[in-house]
Amino acid sequence: MRNIRLRRALPTGMSGPYFSRMTNAPTRPVALVTGASRGIGRAIALRLAATHDLVLVARNAGHLASVARDCDASGARVQTLAIDLCDGPATATALTGLPVDVLVNNAGVAVMKPFLEMTAEEWHRQVDVNVNALYHVTRALLPGMVQRGRGHVCIIGSTAGRNSFVGGTCYAGTKHFVMGFAESLMLEVRDAGVGVSVITPGSVATELFPEGTNTDWMLEPENIADAVAFAVTAPPHMLVHRLEVRPLSPKRPRSSL
Ligand code: NAP
C-alpha cells in the first residue's frame, strides 16, 4: 500500500492543480501538509520533499505553486490544493479518501490581543482554522490510515498550548485544545498502527507575527521542519509523541550568543 501513485490518488477536475513531476520513478510515501504556502508549512514541505511525495494545501494557489517548484529539485512529486480549510464540505470533498501516509496539520492563525479588544471575526477565525480545520482535515484522512493499519498525524501546536499570556485568550485557548486533541487521539489510534505527534514550537520568525515585529531572536521555520522530519521518519516501532522546540535564549540576538 506504500506504492501509492500520487496522480491516481487525487480527485480529477480539481481547480488549480500543479504537478511538479510525473515520472515512473519509484513511489515514495505521501505527506499532506496544510498551511504549506509560507512560513513553517513551506519549510516542512521543502524538508519532506527529500523523502516524500507531497500534497500541499493552503488558500493561496500562487504561493503553493511556487513552493511546489522549490520542491522540484528534491525529486518529489507535488500536488497543490487551494482550499479554505474553514470550509468543511469543500475540505471533505477534496481530501476524503486520499491515501496519505503522513498528515501534517500545520495551518494556523494568531491574533494576539486582549479579549475585550478582540472582534468576533478575529475570535471565530482563530477557532475555525486552529480548531475546526483540524477536525475537517483529520476526519477526512484518518479513516484511511486506520484502515491501512499505518500512518502518522503530526500536528503543529505551540508552547502557547501549555502556557498562558496576556493577549492569548483565544490563540492560547486554541493551542491548549490542540494538546488535548493530540494526546487523546494518540491513545485512540496507536493500536491501529497510526502515530500522532504534536510539535510545540516557541517563537518562530514567520508572518504569524504582525509586520514590524523583531524576529531576530526567534527560531527559523527550518528548525521546526527538522523536528517534524525527526518525528515522521522515526522507526515504525517508535513514536515521538510530544516535541517542544524553543529558542535557546529568547530575546537575545543570535549574533551575541
Ligand atoms: P504563517 O506564516 O502565517 O503561515 C500560516 C499558514 O496557514 C499559511 O500557509 C496560510 O496559507 C495557512 N492558512 C491560514 N488560514 C488558512 C485557511 N483558512 N485555510 C487554509 N490555510 C490557511 O504562520 P506560521 O508561523 O508558519 O504558522 C504555522 C503553524 O505554526 C500555526 O499552526 C501556528 O499556530 C504554529 N506556530 C507558530 C509559531 C510562530 O512563532 N510562528 C509558534 C508556535 C506555533 P494561506 O494564507 O495561503 O491560506
The pTM of this model reads 0.92
pLDDT tens string 3-27? 333 433 343 333 333 344 445 556 8
C-alpha cell at 49: 520533499
pLDDT tens string 203-226? 999 999 999 999 999 999 999 999
CA–CA separation, 134 and 34 (whole Å):
10
State the distance from the centre of ligand 1 to the C-alpha of 142, rounded, in angstroms: 21
Of the candidates 126, 117, 118, 184, which has an alpha carbon nearest to the alpha carbon of residue 155? 184
Options 53, 169, 171, 240, the catalytic residue: 171
- Ligand 1, atom 34: nearest CA belongs to which residue? 108
pLDDT tens string 48-72? 999 999 999 999 999 999 999 999 8
Give 79's contacts (C-beta < 8 A, 6+ positions apart): 6, 7, 10, 17, 18, 19, 54, 55, 56
- Ligand 1, atom 41: nearest CA belongs to which residue? 204
Q: Which CATH architecture describes the domain 30-256?
A: 3-Layer(aba) Sandwich (3.40)
CA–CA separation, 192 and 170 (whole Å):
33
State the distance from the centre of ligand 1 to the C-alpha of 178, rounded, in angstroms: 14
CA–CA separation, 143 and 153 (whole Å):
12
pLDDT tens string 141-182? 999 999 999 999 999 999 999 999 999 999 999 999 999 999
CA–CA separation, 118 and 113 (whole Å):
6
pLDDT at 195 over 50: yes
Closest atom of ligand 1 to 208 CA is: 3
- Residue 21 confidence (pLDDT): 47
Catalytic site residue 135?
no
- Residue 252 confidence (pLDDT): 67
- Out of 86, 165, 175, 206, mutate this one to test ligand 1's pocket (max ligand atoms within 8 Å of CB): namely 206
For residue 6, give Cα distances in angstroms to 15, 17, 217. 17, 12, 39
Q: Domain residues of the chain, as ranges?
A: 30-256
CA 112 to the chain's CA centroid: 20
- Out of 33, 56, 59, mutate this one to test ligand 1's pocket (max ligand atoms within 8 Å of CB): namely 59
- CB within 6 Å of ligand 1 — which residues? 35, 37-41, 58-60, 63, 84-86, 106-110, 129, 156, 158, 201, 203-204, 206-208
Give 200's contacts (C-beta < 8 A, 6+ positions apart): 157, 158, 159, 161, 162, 179, 242, 243, 244, 245
∠ Cα 231 201 56 (to 5°)? 60
CA–CA separation, 19 and 91 (whole Å):
20
- Ligand 1, atom 10: nearest CA belongs to which residue? 35
Neighbour order of strands in the sheet with 194-201: 78-82, 53-58, 30-34, 102-105, 151-156, 194-201, 242-245
